[in-house]
Amino acid sequence: MTLLTHAIDIEGDGPLQSGHSLTVHATAVLLAFGADPELADPGGHTSMEMARRYGHDLAVKLLRARIGGRAADSG
């Protein structure tokens, strides 16, 4: 796992087990410090795939914004 996929895994799995609300704090911090949202883990899974699997809409929105911002910066 990458740090970003691990953060999303924790943010998505924790609420499933505890019943608490989803959070996006770890994902937001990692993205703010330059984590690559398109980097796949050794199994070929991206953070976006992980967020979608958990139905983690907050993380999906953050990832889309970061990926879209990177595309705008390079174009």
Phi, psi (deg, nearest 5) at residue 5 = -65, -35
The pLDDT of residue 72 is 67
Q: pLDDT category, 50, cuts 50, 70, 90?
A: very high
Among the residue ranges 15-19, 32-36, 68-72, the one predicted with the least confidence is: 68-72
Structure-token pair, residue 57: 């809409």
**Residues 26 and 11 sit within 8 Å (Cβ to Cβ):** yes
The pLDDT of residue 75 is 60
**Residues 11 and 22 sit within 8 Å (Cβ to Cβ):** yes
Structure-token pair, residue 44: 């070929």
d(CA 38, CA 67): 8
* Mean pLDDT, rounded, for 47-58: 93
Domains along the chain with CATH numbers: 3-74 (1.25.40)
